[in-house]
Amino acid sequence: MGEVLAGWWHGANWTFVAWGGYYGLLLCFERILHPRGVLERLPATLQRTLTLFLVMMGWVLFRSQTFSGALRYYGMLFSPGFSASHLPGFFTIGVLATGILAVFAEAYLPLKPRFTVSLALGFAGAFLGCLVLIFGNDASPFIYFQF
């Protein structure tokens, strides 16, 4: 219920409420699966990847104006013809590579003394820099203007 209210707080649009409800359902599933040890049996990297995937799918609801827009975006995202061709290739590769490195970096921090926290922060900074270069030219409207 709290997640649905958090979604409603973000705006008077049903997609925000659905966004909150989606995260509420994810928390319910986690509470059901955690005592059974289902999630712990998965490799740590797969756990992180699954979490990131599920969170990113929720953000589609948050950014969509309508449910049909969200469904259309999900359809484009999972269709064989989906392409990031509108993004500059160099930056797209940089973002993907840095993101992949960041996912694996946390797992190796305790194992490799040379792989320090500052190096991990460097990867995170590079990732954010790539995102700024890719999306920095587009002006985004303030999301709370209707609230």
Point out the residues that are catalytic.
Answer: 10
Tokens of 83: 């392409």
Q: What are residue 81's phi and psi, to 5 degrees? A: -90, 5
Question: Over the Cα atoms of the chain, what is R_g?
Answer: 18
Distance CA 133, CA 33 (A): 39
Six-digit token pair at 100?
Answer: 């992949």
Q: How far is CA 31 from CA 23, 42, 55, in A?
A: 12, 16, 16
